[in-house]
Chain A
Amino acid sequence: MENIIEVEDLTIAYQNKPIIWDIDLKIKNNVILAIVGPNGAGKSTLIKGILSLIPSLSGKIEIFGKNINKNKGKIAYVPQVGNVNWDFPTTVLDVVLMGRYVHLGWVKKPTKKDKEKAMEALKMIEMENFADRQISQLSGGQKQRVFLARALVQEAELYFLDEPMQGIDIKSEAIIFDILKKMKSEGKTIIVVHHDLKTVKKYFDSVIFINKNIIAYGDVETTFTKENIDKTYIGIQDVGII
C-alpha cells in the first residue's frame, strides 16, 4: 500500500532552540521500523512531533492522509517509561484499561467487554497474574510490557514505541518482539525508537538514522551500514556493534 505517514519540512524547537529540523519522511504501510541515533538526537522529539504532542515551528504532517486529530483510536503510543507518573495509586489492569478510553469518549465508563480485552492483553504479555498488582511495584521490563498491553487493547493500526527495550530483561525483550512480529503479520505498522544497534538487523525491516536531522532512511538490508552508523554517531566511540 501507499504511504501512511507523510511528514514535510518538520522543525521542532524547545524554547527557541531547534532540536530537529527539515525532517521529510514518508513511511509505508505494514513495516516494522527502527529509529536509531545517539542520546539527545531527537528521537523522542520526532515521534512526539509526528503525533502533534508538542508544538512545531514548521511542518505538515498527514497520517492515513488526514490530520492526526481525525485518527483518534487508530494510533497507539508507548512513551519512554520514565515519562509517566508511576506513583499514581493504581493497578496493572487499570493502566491497561486506559487503552480503551479512546473508544469510550468522555464520561462513559469501561464495560465488562473492555475489561475482558484488557485481561486478554495481559495474557499476551504473560502478566495475567499481575492484574491487581500496584504499578509502583513492577520491574522495568514489566512496566514496558504493561505499556505494550495498553497499546494492544487500543486496537490501533499504527504503533509508536519509544525505547520499549530500555532497562529490560531478556524474557521481556523476547515477549515484546514476539508480539511486535505478530502485530506486523496482522498488517499493523510499528515504529520503534531503538537503542541496541546489535539487534536492529534481527528485529526490523526498515531503519531511520537520526541526529538532529535524518541521516539515512531505508531498508535495513541496504541502509544499515557501517558508513551510516559512523555518520550518525559521529564522535561517539564504541557504539557497540560489529
Chain B
Amino acid sequence: MLELFKQYNFLLVLVGVTVFSASAGAIGVISVLRRQSLIGDAISHATLPGIVIVFMLLQTKNSFLFLVGAIIAGIFAYLLILLINNNTKIDLDTTLAITLTFFFGLGMMLLSISSKSKNAAQAGIQEYIFGSAATINQMDVIMIVITSIIVLCVYLFLYKEIKIFIFDELQAILSGFEPKIMHIIILISSLIVISVGIQSVGVILVSAMLIGPGVSALQWSKKFHVVVILSAIFGAISGFTGVLLSSYVDKLPTGSTVVFIMSIITVVSILISRLKFKKEK
C-alpha cells in the first residue's frame, strides 16, 4: 500500500481524480436543484467533437487546448439547445436528446477518421470516451486544481446570487442579478469542470459525477451550504476510493469504478433517507 503512495504517477492520478470529483460534486448541485441535470449530460457528450477537432489540428495531446476545444463545443451545444427551445415547440427532453446524439455522433465520426493516424494512439484520444485516469499528467492535475479554485471562488463570491437564482429567478431579476450572467457563470464553471474531468472518467460518465453527489447530499441535509460541502465530500470519497480500488484490482478501469462507487453512495443515501422519512411518519 505505502509503496503505491510513493509513486509519483499514482499520486498524480489520486489527487487529480479526487479533486476533480469534489469540484464536479460541488458545481453539479446547482443543476440538480434547478432540475436541469440532463443539460449537463448533453453538454458533456458535446465536448467530444471539440477535443477531437483540436487533436486533428494539432496531432498531439495538449491538455489546455483540449480544454479550450471542449469548452467551445460545450457552448455551441448549449446555444443550440437554447435556439431550439426558444424557437420551436419541441420539448426540452427531445431537444437534449437530439443535441446529445448529434454532437456525440459527430465526435465518434471524427474520432474514427483521426484514429487512423499513429499519433492518435499515442495521445490516447480514444480514452476520452470511457476515460483513462492513468494518462493524467502533471499539467492535467494543475488544471484540475485551477478549475477547483474557480468553482470555490464562484461559491465564495456569488453564494447569495446562486441561492436566489435557484430559488426564485424572477426575484433575482428584480433584485438586479441578471439571470443571463448567472447562466453564463454556471455554464462556464460546469464546462471547465467537465472538460478537465473527461480524461479520467470519460465523456459518457462525466455527467454522473455532476449529478450523483448532489442527489446524495440532498438526502442528508436541508441547508444549502451543507449540501454543497457534502456533495464535494461525496465526490471526493468516490474519486479517492475509486482510484485506490482500481489500482489494487487488476483490469478494473478507474473512471467507471469511481462512477460506480458514486452510484452506490447515491443509492444508499436515497434508501436511508426513505427509511428516515417513513419513521418520522
Which residues of A come within 8 Å of B, CB atoms?
A: 15, 48, 51, 53, 72, 75-77, 79, 83-85, 87-91, 94-95, 98, 101-102, 104-107, 109-110, 134, 136, 150
Say yes or no: A98 contacts B177, CB within 8 Å. Answer: no
For this complex, 20 residue pairs linking A to B, each with C-beta atoms less than 8 Å apart, are A15-B89, A53-B173, A75-B174, A79-B168, A83-B168, A85-B34, A87-B33, A88-B33, A88-B163, A88-B167, A89-B222, A89-B224, A89-B227, A90-B163, A90-B167, A90-B224, A98-B175, A106-B158, A109-B160, A136-B222
Number of interface residues, chain B, beta carbon within 8 A = 27
Task: Point out the residue from B170, B174, B222 that lies within 8 Å of A83, measured CB to CB.
Answer: B170
Tell me the minimal C-beta distance from A164 to chain B in angstroms: 15
Q: Which residues of A contact B158 (CB under 8 A)?
A: 106-107
Tell me the minimal C-beta distance from B105 to chain A in angstroms: 30
Say yes or no: B167 contacts A77, CB within 8 Å. Answer: no
Does B75 count as interface, using CB distance less than 8 angstroms? no
Complex CA distance for A150 and B171, rounded to whole angstroms: 10
Tell me the minimal C-beta distance from A66 to chain B in angstroms: 15
Tell me the minimal C-beta distance from A89 to chain B in angstroms: 4
Say yes or no: A98 contacts B167, CB within 8 Å. Answer: yes
Complex CA distance for A15 and B163, rounded to whole angstroms: 29
Nearest neighbor of A90 in chain B, beta-carbon distance: B224
Q: Which residues of A contact B167 (CB under 8 A)?
A: 84-85, 88, 90, 95, 98
Tell me the minimal C-beta distance from A179 to chain B in angstroms: 19
Tell me the minimal C-beta distance from A71 to chain B in angstroms: 10
Say yes or no: B222 contacts A98, CB within 8 Å. Answer: no
Tell me the minimal C-beta distance from A191 to chain B in angstroms: 14
Complex CA distance for A229 and B170, rounded to whole angstroms: 31
Nearest neighbor of B176 in chain A, beta-carbon distance: A72
Given contacts A77-B171, A87-B33, A136-B222, contact A101 B166 (CB under 8 A): no
Task: Name the 6 nearest CB pairs between A and B, nearest first.
Answer: A102-B175, A84-B168, A89-B222, A88-B167, A101-B175, A134-B222
Does B157 count as interface, using CB distance less than 8 angstroms? yes
Complex CA distance for A104 and B161, rounded to whole angstroms: 11
Given contacts A77-B170, A106-B177, contact A98 B164 (CB under 8 A): yes
Tell me the minimal C-beta distance from B92 to chain A in angstroms: 14
Tell me the minimal C-beta distance from A183 to chain B in angstroms: 18
Q: Which residues of B contact A104 (CB under 8 A)?
A: 160
Does B100 count as interface, using CB distance less than 8 angstroms? no
Complex CA distance for A48 and B170, rounded to whole angstroms: 9
Given contacts A88-B224, A90-B224, contact A98 B157 (CB under 8 A): no
Q: Which residues of A contact B175 (CB under 8 A)?
A: 72, 98, 101-102
Say yes or no: A105 contacts B176, CB within 8 Å. Answer: yes
Say yes or no: A101 contacts B168, CB within 8 Å. Answer: no
Say yes or no: B174 contacts A53, CB within 8 Å. Answer: yes
Nearest neighbor of B226 in chain A, beta-carbon distance: A89
Does B278 count as interface, using CB distance less than 8 angstroms? no
Complex CA distance for A101 and B222, rounded to whole angstroms: 21
Say yes or no: A98 contacts B171, CB within 8 Å. Answer: yes
Complex CA distance for A98 and B173, rounded to whole angstroms: 12
Q: Which residues of A contact B279 (CB under 8 A)?
A: none
Does B141 count as interface, using CB distance less than 8 angstroms? no
Q: Which residues of A contact B170 (CB under 8 A)?
A: 48, 53, 77, 79, 83
Nearest neighbor of A53 in chain B, beta-carbon distance: B170
Q: Which residues of A contact B112 (CB under 8 A)?
A: none
Nearest neighbor of B181 in chain A, beta-carbon distance: A106
